[in-house]
């Protein structure tokens, strides 16, 4: 990745590529911590209380996670502060204020609403604790957006490492002491308080003084600017997670637990495009519209890097699904295997979709992006209302696949109109070719432990990709760095 971002055949390259590489690596580490903690907590809950306990926690976190606790601030803040760094303090103060105001409102209204519709006392308490955790998470993400704009993403990595380690350790402790879902949610909330405080202190150090939550800039115009991002973020989560809420309402906690056991393994692969695109997004925002060729270069490099990782992850996850579910959760989660295999198909779709989505935001096309997400969200809810009563969590998976593919097509069309053709299809050529021997290696080691098969498959893929990369460079200039650069650089 470092070579890919640092060289491109005398073409349009972004400035200071080493900083982009450093930020990309930092984001990968950040999301690795989040993924490891998320999967770790799910495994602890699954083995401690089974599908029902897991379902209660995931239902509460999913429902509260659908609400715009930080009201679209992070992406807008990152873009605007990257363009005008001198306004950083005003944006952070206003964004933090919005996160607190909206978060407090949801924390009060959501449990009251659950109580009004007859939810159990335990569920009302779970939603209240989860809402408070999401408020603190929203405050932290506003601070992280400032790191994003300043291209200091290693600071987010530091805070996240502490936060997620505390989450896993605290969950293990409370479950070990005989606690249940509510105690696990308390551990989540405490870890988010730790993250919010850490981010706030680091932002204050960078600004020369702690930012105070207040209207540092006119509040209503800021809300209007944030609204398309808030709607886009919320609706994206709606079509991605509302199926879990409907499952909980119609099929109960056990169905939610089985579905989330599959869904979470898929969602955490979003770390790949985010680790790449968060490093590039501030530069893409600065490049557009004055330097469109530089913007297109970064967009297509992202598509190629995403394909190099997304294709093998999809092939391996699909073939290893039965053994993966059994290894992580135990035989009680075997009914989730087919659902997981179906959801695996959207891993590359979501990876590419993330690149296209942030590219649209960088070109100031957030309103068009929001319209596309709105259509996808409405279609997703409608499909889930029809499919879940018939096929339970498998129906939810079908609805997700249909809507994700449709949204990707919409993003591709919108971005092509805004910035011209991309290498969306071409970027997947070599990874698909290398995925064939990888799949064969996994099938030939079917009798081995799942980790052995995964390692053999990864080694096979890496060997083929390395051979293809070296073959793409003239013999007299053949070095690993130049080979990787040639492999991920746009063709034009």
pLDDT digits (tens, 9 = 90+) for 296-325: 988 998 899 889 989 999 999 999 999 999
Cα 207 from Cα 268, distance rounded (Å): 32
Nearest by Cα to 63 from 126, 118, 137, 116: 126
pLDDT band per the 50, 70, 90 thresholds, residue 13: very low
125 CA to centre of own chain: 27
pLDDT band per the 50, 70, 90 thresholds, residue 238: low
User: For 43-65, what is each residue's pLDDT tens digit?
Assistant: 899 888 888 888 888 888 888 87
Tell me which residue has tokens 């005989």: 178
- For residue 232, CA distances in Å to 72, 129, 323 come to 8, 25, 36
Domain that holds residue 300: 2-488
Q: What is the reported pLDDT for 405? A: 94
Q: What is the mean pLDDT of residues 70-75?
A: 76
pLDDT higher at 42 or 474: 42
Tell me how crowded residue 201 is: count the other CB atoms within 10 A of its CB.
13
Q: What is the reported pLDDT for 480? A: 72
Q: Is the pLDDT of residue 2 over 60?
A: no
* Out of 265-274, 358-367, 382-391, 454-463, least confident range: 265-274
Tell me which residue has tokens 């896993």: 168
Cα 275 from Cα 278, distance rounded (Å): 6
Contact between 287 and 14 (Cβ < 8 Å): yes
Q: With helix as H, strand as E and coil as C, how does the chain read?
A: CHHHHHCCCCCCCCCCHHHHHHHHHHHHHHHHHHHHHHHHHHHHHHHHHHHHHHHHHHHHHHHHHCCCCCCCHHHHHHHHHHHCHHHHHHHHHHHHHHHHHHHHHHHHHHHHHHHHCCCCHHHHHHHHHHHHHHHHHHHHHHHHHHHHHHCCHHHHHHHHHHHHHHHHHHHHHHHHCCCCHHHHHHHHHHHHHHHHHHHHHHHHHHHCCCCCCCCCCCHHHHHHHHHHHHHHHHHHHHHHHHHHHHHHHHHCHHHHHHHHHHHHHHHHHHHHHHHHHHHHHHHHHHHCCCCHHHHHHHHHHHHHHHHHHHHHHHHHHHHHHHHHHHHHHCHHHHHHHHHHHHHHCCHHHHHHHHHHHHHHHHCCCHHHHHHHHHHHHHHHHHHHHHHHHHHHHHHHHHHHHHHHHHHHHHHHHHHHHHHCCCCCCHHHHHHHHHHHHHHHHHHHCCCCCHHHHHHHHHHHHHHHHHHHHHHCCCHHHCCHHHHHHHHHCCCC
Q: Is the pLDDT of residue 491 over 80?
A: no
Mean of the per-residue pLDDT values of the chain: 86
Count of domains for the chain: 1
User: For 247-297, what is each residue's pLDDT tens digit?
Assistant: 888 888 888 888 888 887 887 777 778 777 877 888 888 888 889 998 998
pLDDT band per the 50, 70, 90 thresholds, residue 19: low
Cα 109 from Cα 122, distance rounded (Å): 17
Q: What is the reported pLDDT for 77? A: 84
Contact between 281 and 79 (Cβ < 8 Å): yes
User: For 417-440, what is each residue's pLDDT tens digit?
Assistant: 999 999 888 888 889 999 999 999
Contact between 453 and 445 (Cβ < 8 Å): yes
Contact between 213 and 70 (Cβ < 8 Å): no
Cα 470 from Cα 384, distance rounded (Å): 47
pLDDT higher at 70 or 96: 96
Q: Cis before residue 102, ω within 30 degrees of 0?
A: no
Q: What is the reported pLDDT for 382? A: 93
Q: What is the reported pLDDT for 6? A: 41
pLDDT band per the 50, 70, 90 thresholds, residue 147: very high
Cα 116 from Cα 124, distance rounded (Å): 10
Q: What is the reported pLDDT for 196? A: 96
Contact between 245 and 63 (Cβ < 8 Å): yes
What global pTM score does this model have? Answer: 0.67
């Amino acid at each position: 990745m470092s070579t890919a971002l640092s060289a491109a055949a005398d073409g349009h390259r972004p400035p200071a590529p080493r900083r982009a590489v450093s930020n990309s690596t930092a984001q990968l580490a950040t999301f690795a911590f989040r993924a490891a903690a998320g999967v770790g907590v799910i495994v602890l809950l699954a083995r401690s209380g089974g599908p029902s306990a897991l379902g209660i926690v995931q239902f509460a976190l999913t429902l509260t996670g659908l609400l715009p606790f930080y009201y679209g601030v992070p992406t807008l803040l990152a873009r605007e502060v990257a363009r005008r760094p001198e306004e950083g303090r005003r944006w952070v103060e206003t964004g933090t204020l919005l996160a607190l105001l909206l978060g407090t409102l949801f924390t009060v209204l959501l449990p009251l609403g659950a109580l009004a519709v007859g939810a159990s006392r335990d569920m009302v308490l779970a939603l209240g604790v989860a809402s408070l955790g999401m408020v603190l998470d929203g405050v932290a993400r506003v601070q992280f957006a400032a790191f994003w704009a300043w291209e200091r993403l290693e600071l987010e990595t530091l805070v996240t490492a502490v936060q997620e380690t505390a989450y896993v350790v605290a969950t293990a402790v409370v479950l070990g002491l005989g606690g249940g879902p509510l105690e696990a949610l308390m551990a989540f909330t405490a870890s988010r308080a730790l993250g919010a405080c850490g981010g706030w202190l680091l932002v204050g150090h960078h600004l020369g003084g702690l930012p105070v939550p207040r209207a540092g800039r006119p509040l209503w115009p800021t809300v209007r600017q944030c609204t398309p991002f808030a709607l886009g973020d919320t609706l994206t989560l709606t079509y991605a997670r509302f199926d879990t809420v409907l499952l909980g309402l119609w099929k109960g906690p056990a169905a939610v637990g089985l579905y989330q056991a599959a869904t979470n393994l898929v969602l955490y692969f979003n770390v790949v495009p985010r680790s790449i695109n968060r490093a590039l997004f501030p530069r893409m925002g600065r490049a557009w519209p004055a330097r469109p060729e530089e913007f297109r270069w970064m967009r297509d490099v992202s598509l190629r890097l995403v394909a190099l990782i997304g294709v093998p992850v999809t092939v391996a996850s699909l073939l290893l699904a039965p053994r993966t579910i059994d290894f992580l959760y135990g035989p009680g989660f075997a009914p989730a295997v087919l659902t997981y295999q179906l959801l695996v198909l959207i891993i590359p779709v979501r990876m590419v979709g993330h690149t296209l989505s942030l590219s649209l935001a960088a070109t100031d096309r957030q309103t068009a992006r929001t319209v596309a997400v709105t259509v996808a969200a409405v279609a997703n809810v409608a499909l889930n209302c029809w499919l879940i009563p018939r096929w339970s969590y498998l129906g939810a998976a079908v609805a997700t696949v249909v809507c994700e593919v449709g949204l990707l097509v919409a993003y591709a069309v919108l971005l092509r109109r805004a910035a011209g053709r991309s290498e969306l299809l071409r970027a997947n050529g070599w990874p698909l070719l290398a995925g064939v021997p990888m799949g064969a290696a996994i099938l030939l080691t079917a009798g081995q432990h799942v980790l052995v098969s995964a390692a053999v498959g990864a080694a096979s893929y890496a060997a083929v990709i390395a051979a293809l990369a070296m073959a793409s460079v003239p013999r007299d200039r053949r070095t690993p760095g130049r080979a990787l650069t040639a492999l991920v650089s746009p063709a034009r």
